[in-house]
Amino acid sequence: VTSENQTGVAAFFLLGLSEDSELQPFLFGLFLTMYLVTVLGNLLIILAISSDSHLHTPMYFFLSNLSFTDICFSTTTVPKMLVNIQTQNKSISYTGCLTQACSVMMFAGMENFLLAAMAYDRYVAICQPLRYTVIMNSHLCGLLILLSLFISLVDALLHRLMILRLFFCTNMKIPHFFCDLAQVIKLACSNTLVNSILIYLLTSILGGVPLLAIICSYIKIISSILRIPSAGGMYKAFSTCGSHLSVVFLFYGTAFGVYISSAVTHFSKKTAVASVMYTVVPPVMNPFICSLRNRDMKGALKKLLWRTFSFS
């Protein structure tokens, strides 16, 4: 049985951010630039960490995984959008749409768990510095990454299986630049109550638990820092958390922005524009935040670039 026979649909149509033909070249140039910056910036972070032995620590191990996740997160949505603008073809196959929607869920979940793992790493480094190397060993770091990947993958596959049971009618237009899971479910003409409950339940758990872990870690970190007698010691301890905190605020701030936007407005275009802030902006900004606020990263990037250009 084909997908078309099971669901009553062979393809969806992504309406994008704007249907104004004069605006398409600008959007193409903007998103192409943002995508290239995302890939090159995060790739530089990964190469700098892997090439500098001083950065082979748990904090930078998690950071390199976050950079890889950012590349994948952006790659699931932006290239298809660019192809659609360039070819003036808004269609995406049923299988492609499902894959894209579930990939977005998976990499968003990975980002959640990685930020929580990084918060725990900072908590151990500041609150239990003498036991840091014992607690944050390579086995635990590897286990945290594998567990994050496994949970995110199971979440994505569960949503995919639940969408496969839905039937779609004639309105196949998604008012978005990618296949957002909630928007796809809205197009179904069969009962979607279970799907909607599953989305809210799993998003609340898989988004709420890591966020709670981050908040608890920073409550303990701040209380530990406030007990440091010297102002210089307090600044030094807190400065190691600066980059991570900035990434956390950017990721969760934009996520809450999308949620609030979709809750208060009935205009799908505004929700689509707000989603850009969540899916495209954090992966672009993270390399700048991680490198500009971190002296070790700046040093590693300089050495990497110097070696690259000196050999060329």
pLDDT value for 4: 44
Residue 3 lies in a domain: no
How far is the first Cα of the chain from the last one, in angstroms, to the nearest whole number? 55
Give the pLDDT of residue 287. 85
- Is 23:274 a contact under the CB 8 Å cutoff? no
Whether 305 is covered by a domain: the verdict is no
Identify whether the C-beta of residue 145 lies closer than 8 Å to the C-beta of residue 65.
yes
pLDDT per position as a tens digit, 50-77: 988 888 999 999 999 999 999 999 999 9
The answer as to whether 304 is a domain residue is no
The parent domain of residue 24 ranges over 11-297
**222 lies in some domain:** yes
What pLDDT is recorded for position 2?
A: 38
Question: Can you tell me the mean pLDDT for 172-186?
Answer: 87
Residues 195, 206: Cα–Cα separation, whole Å: 16
In a domain, 176, yes or no: yes
- Largest alpha-carbon pair distance within the chain? 70
Question: What tokens does 46 get?
Answer: 């990964």
The pLDDT confidence band at residue 213, using thresholds 50, 70 and 90, is: very high
> Is 125 part of a structural domain of the chain?
yes
pLDDT for 37: 94
Average pLDDT over every residue of 23-40: 93
Burial 104-130 (b: 16+ CB within 10 A, else e): bbbbbbbbbbbbbbbbbbbbbbbbeee
- Residue 6 has a pLDDT of 46
| Residue whose entry in the numeric block shows the structure tokens 């990975």 | 110
Report, as an integer, the average pLDDT of 304-311. 75
Average pLDDT (119-134) is 93
Q: Is the pLDDT of residue 154 over 90?
A: yes
Does 112 have pLDDT greater than 50? yes
**What's the whole-number average pLDDT of the chain?**
86
CB 107 within 8 A of CB 76: yes
User: What is the pLDDT, as a whole number, of residue 3?
Assistant: 42
CATH assignment of the domain containing 95: 1.20.1070.10
Looking at the domain assignment, is residue 309 inside a domain? Answer: no
State how many domains the chain has. 1
In-domain check, residue 308: no
Q: Which residues of 77-96 are buried (b: 16+ CB within 10 A; e: fewer)?
A: bbebbbebbeeeebebebee
